[in-house]
Amino acid sequence: MDILSRIQMHREEEQRLAWEGTFAEYLEILRDRPFVAQSAHSRVYNMIKDAGISEKNGQKVYHFFSDQIFGLEESIERLVQEYFHPAAKRLDVRKRILLLMGPVSGGKSTLVTMLKRGLEQYTKTPAGAVYAIKGCPMHEDPLHLIPQHLRKEFYDDYGIRVEGSLSPLNTMRLEHEYDNRIEDVIVQRIFFSEDKRTGIGTFSPSDPKSQDIADLTGSIDFSTIAEYGSESDPRAYRFDGELNKANRGMMEFQEMLKCDEKFLWHLLSLTQEGNFKAGRFALISADELIVAHTNESEYRSFISNKKNEALHSRIIVMGVPYNLRVSQEERIYAKMISESDMAHVHIAPHALRVAAIFSVLTRLKDSKKQGMDLLKKLRLYDGEIVEGFNHVDLEELKKEFADEGMSGIDPRYVINRISSAIIRKESPSINALDVLRSLKDGLDHHASISKEDKERFINFISVARKEYDDIAKKEVQKAFVYSYEESAKTLMDNYLDNVEAYCNKNKLRDPLTGEEMSPDEKLMRSIEEQIGISENAKKAFREEILIRISAYARKGKKFDYNSHERLREAIQKKLFADLKDVVKITTSSKTPDESQLKKINEVIARLVDEHGYNTTSANELLRYVGSLLNR
């Protein structure tokens, strides 16, 4: 569809959704759909809830966030369950400012932006509809028109609780424009829009000397004072501060703790009493979610100052640490790259993974647990199986440090280094080694890394590099086998047949000749030796495998190539060991003969077709693995 018809459709949609009527008519809407009168916090919560919630390994996953925020499921669950949900139920937390605290580039702004954009869309749906007094700069809740003494009755009738009093401006308009006939006041449906400054506001601190409180709470309109005769006439006031504009929705308070104190004090009464002071007027009621964000050091210095106690007690702090899962970190990079102008560049398989391994390592803290190291921890966190540890260990690890993930390398740094690698290489294809090299070079110019950290980080680069070496070797070796999975499966089936016969003291039958034969000890040993199983331990190992198979059978599960971690490793190593010489000679030959050349082309084609390489990165990979195998 062309853009012009899209624009037209959009306009028609807006017209379709628009509604305007009297207060009396609005009450009819509330009869049918009382939820329309919900508070700002409740609307935010319902928006999150309506997007869907699922559960994965006992962890709640909120779909609202899950296609843009990766690896922060635990923080988000806490955020929803300890803030949004109780706030929606009018519990006291809704009166607190929500302060997201976390390291740089850890997704705080992304989270807040999602809420804002989400609300803009949600107010266009039936479930998220919002109505306001027409012509009010603060899009005041029409129910504020109901006089205090009738609210109890209204509650009994409609089941809707009304909070907050009618603003000075609308009090005056009611009298002058509507002759005090509340039922005639015009109400309209509104749609949140940050651009149009409806229901969504953003406040960011600037120079404290020049910044005016008017940015928050509006200001006197000097051009109209003469007309209305007095500064305290609300018509001579512009209710256009961020707090005014964000009424009914949310306000983002960027870098809140960098802000001058006088701004924060305004928030005190707003958060506690639900109203704020503007100009010379009675307190103005406001219903909005205030989300602020800050980093840890600023937060620490803020709470260490006694003067801030009152404000501190009105803040709910939620940690937004870095993601600690390698696979999710990869997704973060992939997302950031797809949103950037590097989107056309070929990024070889595993390039993002090694970068992610590096970043996550810099964020992890050394555990005191016996036999645990950072690499094992990294694997466990990412849901991999690590021998000798289970999910109980994982839970314990997660509890060991409260501030894990609050420091380390941030995603933005990684993306910057990837883009610098792309520029340097002058070819639109980069691989894992390019990325690691660039990450390392960048550490020299990284402003906020101490000397010790730098050393530690350089060490992590080598760890990531070693991981990559393993991955690269496996990748090439797999590509050398015509059908890797099939070969592995055949070899395993063969091994299992022999193990079974061995344990049951049976004979095997040769599939071709039908002849009976003894289990092939040589074959079994050649596999077991790959993972260091001694002659003495072989019997126990074989029996353990049979037990595992029967346990699987009992549960009706299929025992396959992935069911036994160590067996899989042994099979893989055995396959690779058989291949090693071929791979080594082929990949490192300076003057490959015809058959080697043919093999190389075949492998490159397989890497391109089946494993996501392009010819450049596949050639680079082969060369690298050749040099590794010849070391």
Can you give the binding site for ligand ATP, defined by CB under 6 A?
A: 68-72, 102, 104-110, 295, 323, 332, 336, 411-412
Q: Which is nearer to ligand ATP, 241 or 411 (CB)?
A: 411
Residues pairing with 54 in the sheet = 61
Q: How far is the CB of 329 from ligand ATP (least distance, A)?
A: 8
3-class DSSP state for residue 453?
helix
By CB under 5 A, the count of residues binding Mg ion is 1
Q: How far is the CB of 51 from ligand ATP (least distance, A)?
A: 16
CB atoms inside a 10 Å sphere around CB 18 = 11
CB atoms inside a 10 Å sphere around CB 509 = 13
Residue with smallest beta-carbon separation from Mg ion: 109
Residue for token pair 């508070």: 39
CB atoms inside a 10 Å sphere around CB 383 = 12
Among Mg ion, ligand ATP, none, what binds residue 572 when CB lies within 5 to 8 Å by partner kind?
Answer: none
Among ligand ATP, Mg ion, none, what binds residue 599 when CB lies within 5 to 8 Å by partner kind?
Answer: none
3-class DSSP state for residue 317?
strand
Q: What is the DSSP string of 68-115?
A: T--S-HHHHHHHIIIIIHHHHTT-GGGGSEEEEE--TTSSHHHHHHHH
Q: How far is the CB of 183 from ligand ATP (least distance, A)?
A: 47
Of residues 100-129, those binding Mg ion (CB under 5 A): 109
Among Mg ion, ligand ATP, none, what binds residue 168 when CB lies within 5 to 8 Å by partner kind?
Answer: none
Give the whole-angstrom CA distance, residue 248 versus residue 164: 12
Q: How far is the CB of 108 from Mg ion (least distance, A)?
A: 5
Secondary structure string (H, E, C) spanning 240-268: CCHHHHCCCCEEEECCHHHCCHHHHHHHH
Q: Which is nearer to ligand ATP, 30 or 406 (CB)?
A: 406
Q: Which is nearer to ligand ATP, 109 or 206 (CB)?
A: 109
Give the whole-angstrom CA distance, residue 506 versus residue 517: 9
Among Mg ion, ligand ATP, none, what binds residue 352 when CB lies within 5 to 8 Å by partner kind?
Answer: none
Among Mg ion, ligand ATP, none, what binds residue 105 when CB lies within 5 to 8 Å by partner kind?
Answer: ligand ATP
Q: How far is the CB of 475 from ligand ATP (least distance, A)?
A: 27
Among ligand ATP, Mg ion, none, what binds residue 438 when CB lies within 5 to 8 Å by partner kind?
Answer: none
Q: What are phi and psi of 603, to 5 degrees?
A: -65, -45
Q: Which is nearer to ligand ATP, 206 or 627 (CB)?
A: 206
In angstroms, the Cα distances linking 26 to 81, 151, 421, 536 are 32, 16, 60, 84
Among Mg ion, ligand ATP, none, what binds residue 199 when CB lies within 5 to 8 Å by partner kind?
Answer: none
CB atoms inside a 10 Å sphere around CB 551 = 12
Q: How far is the CB of 106 from ligand ATP (least distance, A)?
A: 4
Q: Which is nearer to ligand ATP, 68 or 596 (CB)?
A: 68
Q: How far is the CB of 615 from ligand ATP (least distance, A)?
A: 31
Q: Which is nearer to ligand ATP, 138 or 324 (CB)?
A: 324
Q: How far is the CB of 375 from Mg ion (least distance, A)?
A: 31
Q: Which is nearer to Mg ion, 8 or 109 (CB)?
A: 109
Q: Which is nearer to ligand ATP, 323 or 438 (CB)?
A: 323
Among Mg ion, ligand ATP, none, what binds residue 72 when CB lies within 5 to 8 Å by partner kind?
Answer: ligand ATP
Among ligand ATP, Mg ion, none, what binds residue 408 when CB lies within 5 to 8 Å by partner kind?
Answer: none
Q: How far is the CB of 108 from ligand ATP (least distance, A)?
A: 3
**Residues in Cβ contact with 27 at an 8 Å cutoff, skipping those fewer than 6 apart:** 158
Determine contact, residues 512/610, Cβ cutoff 8 Å: no
Q: Which is nearer to ligand ATP, 70 or 495 (CB)?
A: 70
Which candidate, 189, 188, 289, 187, places its Cα nearest to that of 243? 289
Q: How far is the CB of 412 from ligand ATP (least distance, A)?
A: 5
Q: Rounded to 5 degrees, what angle do the CA atoms 347, 349, 355 make?
A: 75
Task: Report residue 419 as tokens.
Answer: 């883009």
Give the whole-angstrom CA distance, residue 275 versus residue 283: 6
Among ligand ATP, Mg ion, none, what binds residue 321 when CB lies within 5 to 8 Å by partner kind?
Answer: none
Q: Which is nearer to Mg ion, 79 or 129 (CB)?
A: 79
Task: Report residue 269 as tokens.
Answer: 């009464």
Q: Which residues of this chain interact with Mg ion, rule CB under 5 A?
A: 109
